[in-house]
Amino acid sequence: MTGLFNSVFGTATTITVQEFLICIAVSLAIGVFLAGVYAFRSKYTQSFLVTLALIPAVVCVVIMMVNGNVGAGVAVAGAFSLVRFRSVPGSAKEICAIFLAMGAGLVTGMGFIGYAVLLAIILGGAMFACSLTGFGGGRDEERALKITVPENLDYTEAFDEVLADCTDSYRLTNVKTTSMGSLFKLTYVVKLKKDTNQKDMIDRLRVRNGNLEIMLTQVDSGDITL
């Protein structure tokens, strides 16, 4: 049993073709497993899942090629900088999945296949359990309501009546000026009532903001903290 968690490279400084192929195969299997776990009850794109499946193998190869060299530290830092492959900011769950895949590839690249599999099973299982139980999903019911108003409108209580009728809770989290100060943009975090008709709510708000832009979107961390 102890031998399962020893490095397949032993004390050797060179890597055989057989050891190389074993590590790559295990890395790919772990990547596919993590991609499958991430896809459960999550929004995703095909490109992200393919990348998530291949990252462990890529990191594994990098670590194997510098095994025993002084440049290993630089290689590790370079491997983890792969998180910049995304051109747009990712969600916290995406970033966590990427680092988990990188961590598994790093362990596999050092030859500790048993630990890499154990890491993937434990943390992948934890991610699956969180998705299955909806852990931390309370924010999913909230929406960001963004309302543009003219500068001459007192927005302090202008929308309270509509929001009180259509939402279970609401709070103003952000106010900023735009168009050289001629307009205000308000951001509310709202929790809609189950029977709320979104179009009717927006139509009622349009009457009060002079038919300027109104946007209802998924809430993000910026809408909550600002």
What was the pLDDT predicted at 70?
A: 46
Q: 74 has which bridge partners?
A: none
Please, how many CA atoms are within 13 Å of residue 110, restricted to the half-sphere of its CB?
Answer: 16
Model confidence pLDDT, tens digit, residues 54-67: 989 988 888 887 76
Model confidence pLDDT, tens digit, residues 8-26: 666 555 778 888 899 899 9
Find the mean pLDDT for residues 42-70. 81
Distances (CA, A) of 69 to 5, 45, 135, 202: 22, 37, 43, 62
Q: Where are the domains of the chain?
A: 2-133, 138-225
Does the structure show a pLDDT above 60 at 183?
A: yes
What was the pLDDT predicted at 118?
A: 92
Model confidence pLDDT, tens digit, residues 103-116: 898 888 888 888 99
The radius of gyration of the chain from alpha carbons, rounded to an integer in Å, stands at 25
Distance CA 28, CA 135 (A): 28
Does the structure show a pLDDT above 90 at 188?
A: yes
- Strands 214-218 and 183-192: what pairing? unpaired
Superfamily (CATH H level) for 138-225:
Transcriptional regulatory protein pf0864 domain like (3.30.70.1380)
Distance CA 192, CA 169 (A): 7
Distances (CA, A) of 202 to 121, 147, 176: 46, 10, 20
Is the separation of the CB atoms in 187 and 174 below 8 Å? yes
* Close Cβ partners of 206 (under 8 Å, ≥ 6 residues apart): 212, 214
What was the pLDDT predicted at 109?
A: 83
Q: Which 3-state string (H, E, C) describes 163-210?
A: HHHHEEEEEEEEEEEECCCCEEEEEEEEEECCCCCHHHHHHHHHHHCC
pTM of the predicted model, to two decimals? Answer: 0.60
- Quickly state the pLDDT bin for 179 (edges 50, 70, 90): confident
- Quickly state the pLDDT bin for 120 (edges 50, 70, 90): very high
- DSSP-derived letter for residue 143 is E
